[in-house]
A and B are shown apart, each in its own frame.
Chain A
Amino acid sequence: MSRSHGRASPGFKFHAQRCRYTSLDKGDGGQSKEIDTMGRGLQPLVTVKSSQVKKRALDTPDERSINIEEGDEYSGSRFGNFRTYMRHKKAKLQNQDAVLRSKVTPDTPQIFKGMIIYINGYTKPPQADLWNLIVVHGGVYKQFLDGKTAVTHIIASALTPKKRIEFAKYRVVKPEWIVDCVKAGKPLSWTKYRVVAEAAGQREIAFNKDGGLEAQITSVSTSYKALPQLKKSESTKSVSSTGKKRRVVPLQLNDYFGKRISTQSSAVSDRVEGSGVTQPPKVTETVSSATMSSRRQSVNNRTEPEPTAVPATTAVADVEDEVLLSSVDQILATPSQSQEEVPASSNEPVLNVFDRAEYVPSQEMFGDVHTMTLKELVPSKATEAPVQLSEALIFPENSFTLQANDPQSDYGIDDSFLDDIGMHGDSESHELVPERVHYEAVNQDLSETHTDTIGRHEPLVWPPTDRPASATPRDEPLVWPPTDGPASEPPREASQTPAKEETDLIKPTVASEAATDAPDVPVMGDTYPEDEVVYRPKTVHAVNAGPIRDATDPGFFDQYYGKSRLHHLSTWKAELKLQMQELAASNPPTPALMTRKGDRTILHVDFDSFFAAVSSLSLPPEERAKPIVVSHGGTAMGEIASCNYPARDFGIRNGMWMAKARDLCPHVRCIGYDFSKYEEISRKFYDVLLGVGCEKLQAISVDEALLDVTSPVQCTGKDEGSAADELATVIRSQVRQLTGCEVSVGIGSNVLLARLALRKAKPAGQYRLHKADVLDFIADLEVRDLPGVGRSIEDKLRDQLGIITVADLRSHAKTALQNLLGQKNGQKLFNFARGIDDTPVGEKSERKSVSAEVNYMIRFKTREDVDTFMHGLAGELSKRLKKINVRGKQLTLKVMRRAAHAPIETPKPGGHGECDTFNKSTSFGVATDDQDALSVEAKSLLWSLNLVIEDLRGIALMMTKLEESGDGKGQKKLNWGAPAVTGDRQQVPKDASESHSLPQGEAQSRPSTSKSRPASSQWVLPSQVDPQVLSNLPDDIRMEIEKQADFKVTAAADPFTVPALSKTPAAKTPKTDLRRSIIRNFIMNNGGQSPAHRHPSSPALNSSPAFSQYELPSQMDPDVLKELPEDLLAKIERQKEWIAAPKIGDMGPPALKVSPRTPAAVGKSTRLLKDGSSPMLPSPLKTPYIGPATSPATNLSSPMSQFNIPSQLNSGVLAELPSEWRSRIEQQYRTKIAQKDRDARPITENPSPSQWDPEVVKQIGTQNLKELGVLKDERKHVSFLQAPKTPTKNRTLGKKNSMSPRKSPRKSPSKARQSNTLEMTLTQNHFLKAQREQLKTTTLGTQSTPPANIDKEWWDALGPDVQKDILTEERIQRDKTRLRREAEDRIRKRMEGRPKVDQYLVDLPEGGMKVKLGGVADVDDVRRMLSEWVETDWEQGPVHEDAEVIMAYVKKLVVEDMNAAKAQGMIKWLAYAVENAARRRAEERRQFIHAAEHNLCEDPEGAEFAWSMVIRKILDGCNEALAERGIGALNLFE
Chain B
Amino acid sequence: MSKTKEHKDDPQEVMLRKPSEWTHNIILQTFCDFLTVAIHTILFIRDLYPPELFERARKYNTVVRRSRHPMLNDWIRDVVTSVNEELKKCTVNRVSVIILSADETPMERFVFDVSSFPNIPEQEHNIPISSTSATFTQSDLLEQFRATLIRIQQSATTLGKLPEDCTFTVAIELKEHEDKPAQYPDPWIPAQPQQNGVQVNGESVRTRVTTKPLRNIEIGPIKIDAWIEESRAKGKLKEGERA
Question: Would you call B218 and A1408 a contact (CB within 8 A)?
Answer: yes
Q: Mark A1298-1342, 1 if CB is under 8 A from B, else 0.
A: 000000000000000000000000001100100000000000000
**Any chain A CB within 8 A of the CB of B225?**
yes
Question: Would you call B130 and A1529 a contact (CB within 8 A)?
Answer: no
Contact of A1524 with B127 at beta-carbon distance under 8 Å, contacts A1408-B218, A1461-B225, A1529-B210 already known: no
Name B133's closest neighbour in chain A (CB-CB). Answer: A1408
Instruction: Select one of B24, B143, B211 contacting A80, CB under 8 A.
Output: B143
Per the bound structure, the CA–CA distance linking A1403 and B130 in Å amounts to 5
Main secondary structure of the interface of B (DSSP, over half): mixed
Question: Would you call A80 and B225 a contact (CB within 8 A)?
Answer: no
Contact of A1528 with B127 at beta-carbon distance under 8 Å, contacts A1-B1, A79-B143, A144-B1 already known: no
**What residues of B have a CB within 8 angstroms of the CB of A1530 in the complex?**
210-213
Question: Would you call A1529 and B213 a contact (CB within 8 A)?
Answer: no
**What residues of B have a CB within 8 angstroms of the CB of A80 in the complex?**
140, 143-144
Q: Mark B89-124, 1 if CB is under 8 A from A, else 0.
A: 000000000000000000000010101101010011
B55 to chain A, nearest CB (A): 25
**What residues of A have a CB within 8 angstroms of the CB of B130 in the complex?**
1401-1404
Name B144's closest neighbour in chain A (CB-CB). Answer: A80
Question: Would you call A1396 and B213 a contact (CB within 8 A)?
Answer: no
Contact of A1457 with B206 at beta-carbon distance under 8 Å, contacts A1404-B131, A1404-B221, A1528-B229 already known: no
A1007 to chain B, nearest CB (A): 48
Question: Would you call B118 and A1402 a contact (CB within 8 A)?
Answer: yes
Identify which of residues 46-90 in chain B touch chain A, using a CB-to-CB cut-off of 8 Å. Answer: none
Question: Would you call A1402 and B24 a contact (CB within 8 A)?
Answer: yes
Question: Would you call A2 and B211 a contact (CB within 8 A)?
Answer: no
Q: Mark B214-231, 1 if CB is under 8 A from A, else 0.
A: 111010010101110110
Question: Would you call A1526 and B129 a contact (CB within 8 A)?
Answer: no
**Any chain B CB within 8 A of the CB of A1378?**
no
Contact of A1531 with B211 at beta-carbon distance under 8 Å, contacts A1406-B132, A1458-B113, A1458-B115 already known: yes
Per the bound structure, the CA–CA distance linking A1462 and B151 in Å amounts to 13
Instruction: Select one of B23, B144, B211, B218 contacting A1527, CB under 8 A.
Output: B211
Instruction: Select one of A1395, A1407, A1461 contacting B133, CB under 8 A.
Output: A1407
Identify which of residues 1462-1503 in chain A touch chain B, using a CB-to-CB cut-off of 8 Å. Answer: 1462-1464
Q: Mark B119-162, 1 if CB is under 8 A from A, else 0.
A: 01001101111111100000110011001000000000000000
**What residues of B have a CB within 8 angstroms of the CB of A1 in the complex?**
1, 4-5
Contact of A1404 with B129 at beta-carbon distance under 8 Å, contacts A1460-B213, A1461-B225, A1528-B205 already known: yes
Question: Would you call B205 and A1402 a contact (CB within 8 A)?
Answer: no
**What residues of B have a CB within 8 angstroms of the CB of A1458 in the complex?**
113, 115-116, 216, 223, 225
B112 to chain A, nearest CB (A): 11
Question: Would you call A1520 and B132 a contact (CB within 8 A)?
Answer: no
Per the bound structure, the CA–CA distance linking A1531 and B208 in Å amounts to 12
Q: Mark A1394-1416, 1 if CB is under 8 A from B, else 0.
A: 11110011111011100000000
Question: Would you call A1519 and B206 a contact (CB within 8 A)?
Answer: yes
Contact of A1526 with B223 at beta-carbon distance under 8 Å, contacts A79-B147, A1395-B126, A1458-B113 already known: no
**What residues of A have a CB within 8 angstroms of the CB of B202 in the complex?**
1520, 1523-1524
**What residues of B have a CB within 8 angstroms of the CB of A1531 in the complex?**
210-212
**What residues of B have a CB within 8 angstroms of the CB of A144 in the complex?**
1
Per the bound structure, the CA–CA distance linking A144 and B229 in Å amounts to 43
Question: Would you call A1528 and B216 a contact (CB within 8 A)?
Answer: no
**Any chain A CB within 8 A of the CB of B199?**
yes
Question: Would you call A1527 and B210 a contact (CB within 8 A)?
Answer: no
- Candidate in A145, A1457, A1459, A1464 with the most chain B CB atoms within 10 angstroms: A1459
Count of residues in A whose CB is under 8 Å from the partner chain = 43
Name A1395's closest neighbour in chain B (CB-CB). Answer: B126
Per the bound structure, the CA–CA distance linking A1397 and B126 in Å amounts to 9
Question: Would you call B198 and A1396 a contact (CB within 8 A)?
Answer: no
**What residues of B have a CB within 8 angstroms of the CB of A1401 in the complex?**
127-130
**What residues of B have a CB within 8 angstroms of the CB of A1463 in the complex?**
213
Name B219's closest neighbour in chain A (CB-CB). Answer: A1408
Q: Mark B172-184, 1 if CB is under 8 A from A, else 0.
A: 0000000000000
Per the bound structure, the CA–CA distance linking A1529 and B215 in Å amounts to 16
Instruction: Select one of B1, B143, B213, B221 contacting A2, CB under 8 A.
Output: B1
Identify which of residues 190-216 in chain B touch chain A, using a CB-to-CB cut-off of 8 Å. Answer: 198-200, 202, 205-206, 208-216
**Any chain A CB within 8 A of the CB of B13?**
no
Question: Would you call B211 and A1400 a contact (CB within 8 A)?
Answer: no
Contact of A82 with B3 at beta-carbon distance under 8 Å, contacts A1324-B123, A1408-B133, A1527-B211 already known: yes
Question: Would you call B229 and A1527 a contact (CB within 8 A)?
Answer: yes
Name B143's closest neighbour in chain A (CB-CB). Answer: A80
**Any chain A CB within 8 A of the CB of B33?**
no
Question: Would you call A1402 and B124 a contact (CB within 8 A)?
Answer: yes
A965 to chain B, nearest CB (A): 37
Per the bound structure, the CA–CA distance linking A145 and B212 in Å amounts to 41
Question: Would you call B3 and A1400 a contact (CB within 8 A)?
Answer: no
A1067 to chain B, nearest CB (A): 68
B193 to chain A, nearest CB (A): 13
**Any chain B CB within 8 A of the CB of A146?**
yes
B181 to chain A, nearest CB (A): 20
**Any chain B CB within 8 A of the CB of A1522?**
yes
**What residues of A have a CB within 8 angstroms of the CB of B8 in the complex?**
2
- Candidate in A145, A1328, A1408, A1464 with the most chain B CB atoms within 10 angstroms: A1408
**What residues of B have a CB within 8 angstroms of the CB of A1328 in the complex?**
123
Question: Would you call A2 and B216 a contact (CB within 8 A)?
Answer: no
**What residues of B have a CB within 8 angstroms of the CB of A1403 in the complex?**
130
Name A144's closest neighbour in chain B (CB-CB). Answer: B1
Per the bound structure, the CA–CA distance linking A1457 and B217 in Å amounts to 11
Question: Would you call A1527 and B198 a contact (CB within 8 A)?
Answer: yes
Instruction: Select one of B132, B147, B229 contacting A1407, CB under 8 A.
Output: B132
Per the bound structure, the CA–CA distance linking A992 and B98 in Å amounts to 78
Question: Would you call B128 and A1461 a contact (CB within 8 A)?
Answer: no
Instruction: Select one of B133, B210, B211 contacting A1460, CB under 8 A.
Output: B211
Jot down 19 A-B pairs with beta carbons below 8 A, ordered by A: A1-B1, A1395-B127, A1396-B126, A1397-B127, A1401-B127, A1401-B130, A1402-B23, A1402-B124, A1404-B118, A1458-B225, A1459-B225, A1461-B214, A1461-B215, A1461-B226, A1461-B227, A1463-B213, A1526-B200, A1527-B205, A1529-B211
Query: Which 10 A/B pairs are nearest by Cβ-Cβ distance?
Result: A1528-B209, A1523-B202, A1401-B130, A1461-B213, A1531-B210, A1459-B216, A1460-B213, A1395-B126, A1408-B133, A1458-B225
* Contacts beyond the supplied A1523-B205, A1528-B211, A1529-B210: 13 A-B pairs with Cβ under 8 Å: A1325-B123, A1325-B127, A1397-B127, A1407-B132, A1458-B113, A1458-B216, A1460-B227, A1461-B213, A1461-B226, A1462-B216, A1524-B200, A1527-B198, A1530-B213
Residues of B in contact with A (beta carbons under 8 Å apart): 1, 3-5, 8, 21, 23-24, 111, 113, 115-116, 118, 120, 123-124, 126-133, 139-140, 143-144, 147, 198-200, 202, 205-206, 208-216, 218, 221, 223, 225-227, 229-230
